[in-house]
């Protein structure tokens, strides 16, 4: 199986090393000093028990790597949107595309029946760029649970976790899904296949949509956000709004809201990804985590006053800091199935 990691950063690089170690034919798309280091010294993964270095073909230009059996997109939502057209040289007639990302995916309504079938979300795919360039029929959904970081160019540190949720958008079993799950397992990681991957997307999103922006606004670590009475209550109310949206759209939440918050508190003094991005002046991943949930709430008639308030604050903070918006504010709508939030 030929697998290309598009975005061999912290998570993508971790997956690349582990898959290569498991005997897969792996290549990487990366850039900058990280790419230079990978080309000259290989990609190194440092875990609590060992240090692994693997040598793999790597390039900034996907045309150098050719068609793949699987492409894993390990970019943030706005980066994936920007790169959608660049994926085309990697895509053959049967290539699967695994979206290893946080937040609401651009393909969310593909494979669902009913009035919202194949509806497009403007907040995560303005102009239908990914829908048209990649095609939702290629997608395997993926939720990411490991925590990793790049400590220096070409070196990734694994902090904790090895599980990946996987599932077909159409809720069907498939040979390609089974093969990819086997590849994940061969690499020493833990695949968990879901009948409806959206259930796991919501469970992961449930925390990200509140803990990330609250921590960015307050500069508090996760344990404080989840235990201080004021921020805990705010997070809880945001999560209850999101749960109503998800359940209205057919999702199932396998834990209750307080257990989910307590689980986050147990992680300890963790600086959320949005807080880390803010500190480093990097674009904030607001739309996939929050704006899309607001958009879906308006679609199904669920009022979201707590989400609306926090979204407005974090958007304004992002604009003031020059790290938002991450998508163009004006993108022409090219498909009448694209949802326009009112």
Residues facing 142 on adjacent strands: 100, 166
Distance CA(140)–CA(93), nearest Å, equals 15
How far CA 118 is from CA of 86, 114, 126, 299, 337, in Å, comes to 23, 9, 15, 14, 7
Distance CA(332)–CA(319), nearest Å, equals 22
How far CA 298 is from CA of 111, 141, 248, 290, in Å, comes to 21, 24, 12, 13
DSSP-derived pairing of the beta strands 163-167 and 139-144:
antiparallel
Spatial neighbors of 322 by CB under 8 A, at least 6 apart, are 281
Residues facing 172 on adjacent strands: none
How far CA 211 is from CA of 91, 223, 332, in Å, comes to 36, 10, 32
Active centre residues (catalytic):
204
Three-state SS sequence of 68-88: EEEEEECCCHHHHHHHHHHHH
């Amino acid at each position: 199986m030929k697998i290309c990691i598009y975005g061999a950063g912290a998570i993508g690089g971790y997956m690349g090393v582990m898959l290569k170690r498991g005997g897969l034919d792996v290549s990487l798309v990366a850039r900058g000093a990280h790419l230079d280091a990978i080309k000259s010294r290989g990609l190194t993964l440092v875990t609590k028990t060992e240090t692994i270095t693997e040598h793999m073909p790597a390039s900034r230009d996907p045309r150098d790597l050719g068609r793949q059996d699987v492409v894993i997109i390990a970019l943030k939502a706005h980066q994936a949107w920007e790169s959608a057209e660049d994926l085309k040289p990697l895509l053959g007639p049967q290539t699967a595309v695994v979206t290893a990302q946080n937040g609401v995916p651009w393909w969310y309504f593909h494979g669902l029946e009913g009035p919202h079938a194949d509806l497009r979300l403007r907040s995560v795919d303005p102009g239908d760029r990914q829908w048209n360039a990649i095609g939702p029929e290629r997608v395997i959904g993926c939720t990411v649970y490991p925590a990793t970081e790049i400590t220096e160019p070409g070196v990734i540190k694994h902090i904790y976790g090895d599980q990946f949720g996987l599932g077909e958008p159409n809720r069907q079993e498939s040979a390609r899904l089974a093969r990819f799950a086997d590849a994940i397992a061969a690499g020493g990681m833990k695949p968990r296949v879901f009948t409806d991957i959206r259930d796991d997307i919501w469970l992961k999103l449930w925390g990200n949509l509140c803990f990330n922006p609250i921590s960015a606004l307050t500069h508090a670590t996760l344990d404080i956000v989840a235990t201080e009475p004021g921020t805990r209550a705010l997070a809880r109310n945001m999560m209850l709004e999101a749960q109503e949206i998800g359940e209205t759209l057919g999702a199932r939440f396998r834990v209750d809201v307080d257990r989910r918050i307590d689980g986050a508190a147990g992680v300890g003094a963790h600086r959320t990804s949005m807080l880390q991005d803010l500190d480093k002046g990097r674009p904030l991943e607001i739309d996939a985590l929050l704006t899309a949930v607001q958009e879906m709430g308006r679609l199904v008639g669920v009022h979201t006053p707590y989400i609306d308030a926090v979204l407005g604050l974090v958007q304004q903070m992002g604009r003031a800091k020059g790290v938002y918006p991450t998508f163009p504010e004006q993108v022409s709508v090219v498909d009448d199935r694209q949802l326009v939030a009112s």
